[in-house]
Amino acid sequence: MSVRKVDHLLIGGGLASANCARWLREAGGEGEIMLVGREPDPPYNRPPCSKGYLQGSETREDTWFRPREWWQDQRIDLRTRTSVTKLDVGAKQATLSSREVVAYESALLATGANVRRLNVEGCELEGIHYLRALGNADAIRADASGRRVVLIGGSYIGCEVAASLTLLGSSCAIVMQEALTLERGFGAQAGRFFQERLREHGVEVHGEDELERFEGSDGRVSTVVTKRGLRLEADAVVIGAGVMPDTALARGAGLELDEQRGGVLCDSHLRSSAPGIWAAGDIASYDSVVHGRRLRVEHWDVAFNQGRTAALGMLGQDAPHEVVPYFFSDLADWASLEYVGPAQGWDEEIVRGSLDEGSFSIWYLGEGRVLGALSVGRSQDLDHARRLIAAGGALTAPQRTALGDVDSGLDAVGR
């Protein structure tokens, strides 16, 4: 069998691979690049799937990382609807679903994540959706617009989809384990703020509860039954119960995995345990030099920036990944949040600004150190947060007071 040779093989058709391809060229790489992704579209941004694209205000092409011609112009062999089915890290070869065998000098593993499925009674009924790809958003829009929809999960997917579908005339109810929406990531104060925004636009929120089963008629979902005994009528259901990194290929290839956080184990430069293979995006569990600990983060911005770091490494540069993870979320045009961190547990929250007026930042501290910060309408605080997270030192009492006082400048805090 003939073997095709490339300099850089990018496995996975998401943002991490796409931005890696871009930076391989922008940083001067002239070698052959092949990007293999199993979806029908060229690489695209997923955030619009629960926001503008779902609402109908953005087109499919708007979500694309680059237009189709760009890939050709950049001499990148883009393979859509194609999977890498086997990776032989010893021979440095990959087998594609097209049966081609591709030899590489360096490779990127960026296979992303898959939704966590809930196997409860009735889960096979029509009208029950998950959301990861553009096609899922199409199906949800077609099935759920203007109807009664139950969202399972109070994290950002559940909240964003509830907001977007409300704009499309649906009446939405959220069922979640947490007491307050978005509470797990951002705490009770922020959670209450976002829950209020949802409620004032008509979204019902049922916290401290859980999905028990689905009931249906004629093969289609009609009722969501919760563990606390609620029976919610539903023409459609959207489940946002988290994701799991897609490590099937990595596991098969014998790469070291992070069994605790999930994902492919990488060093601070995003190099995996196999020579010549980097990992980026939702699957990368890396040693963060900024945080001094291991991290795996499922954010758009992280996939974007890690794609760049991996590209520089693949071109032989000494490039540790030093970006503080950033996350954003929009609940229609009712509220937008930005966040840097991740805090993953904290013992103090300091509010700067006013929750009542909808313009505030919340600082998350652990043992006096800034671990993360959330901002609604106060983006200017986030650069300070990035600096303080990277500096890592405990703040003095007057410095902590300054964090919470909008009239105090932040330049001197932590210096």
Ligand X SMILES: Cc1cc2nc3c(=O)[nH]c(=O)nc-3n(C[C@H](O)[C@H](O)[C@H](O)COP(=O)(O)OP(=O)(O)OC[C@H]3O[C@@H](n4cnc5c(N)ncnc54)[C@H](O)[C@@H]3O)c2cc1C
Instruction: Closer to ligand X by CB, 12 or 341: give it.
Output: 12
d(CA 312, CA 333): 37
Q: Which is nearer to ligand X, 302 or 350 (CB)?
A: 302
- What's the min distance (Å) between Cβ of 290 and ligand X? 17
Q: Could you tell me the smallest distance in angstroms from the CB atom of residue 49 to ligand X?
A: 4
DSSP sequence for 163-228: HHHHHTT-EEEEE-SSSSTTHHHHHHHHHHHHHHHHHHTT-EEE-S--EEEEEEETTEEEEEEETT
Q: Which is nearer to ligand X, 37 or 353 (CB)?
A: 37
Please name the helix (run of DSSP H) or strand (run of DSSP E) that holds residue 135, with its range, or none.
Answer: helix 134-144
- Give the Cα separation of 400 and 413 in Å (integer): 8
- What residues form DSSP beta bridges with 33? 8, 76
- What residues line the site for ligand X (CB under 6 A)? 11-17, 36-39, 46-47, 49-50, 83-84, 110-113, 131-132, 157, 246, 249, 281-282, 298-301, 303, 327-329
d(CA 87, CA 106): 12
Closest contact distance (angstroms) between CB of 413 and ligand X is 26
Tell which residue, 407, 363, 356, 415, has the closest CA to residue 385: 363
Retrieve residue 177's tokens. 């384990």
CB of 255 to ligand X, least distance (A): 13
Nearer of residues 38 and 387 to ligand X, judged by Cβ: 38
Whole-number minimum distance, CB 48 to ligand X, in Å? 8
- Please identify, using beta-carbon distances, which residue of 34 and 234 lies nearer to ligand X: 34
Minimum CB distance to ligand X, residue 273 (Å): 18
- Find the shortest distance in angstroms from Cβ 321 to ligand X: 13
Residue 341 Cβ vs ligand X, minimum distance, rounded to whole Å: 12
- Please state the separation of Cα 49 from the chain's center in Å: 12
Residue 70 or 328 with smaller CB distance to ligand X: 328
Which is nearer to ligand X, 212 or 338 (by Cβ)? 338
Would you say 366 and 346 are in contact if contact means Cβ atoms under 8 Å apart?
A: yes
* Residue number with CB closer to ligand X (116 or 231): 116
DSSP element (H, E) containing 383: helix 380-391
Q: In this structure, how many other beta carbons lie within 10 angstroms of the beta carbon of residue 140?
A: 25
Tokens of 277: 């293979």
Contact 109, 249 (CB under 8 A): yes
Question: Measured on CA atoms in the order 304, 306, 312, 318, is the torsion positive or negative?
Answer: positive
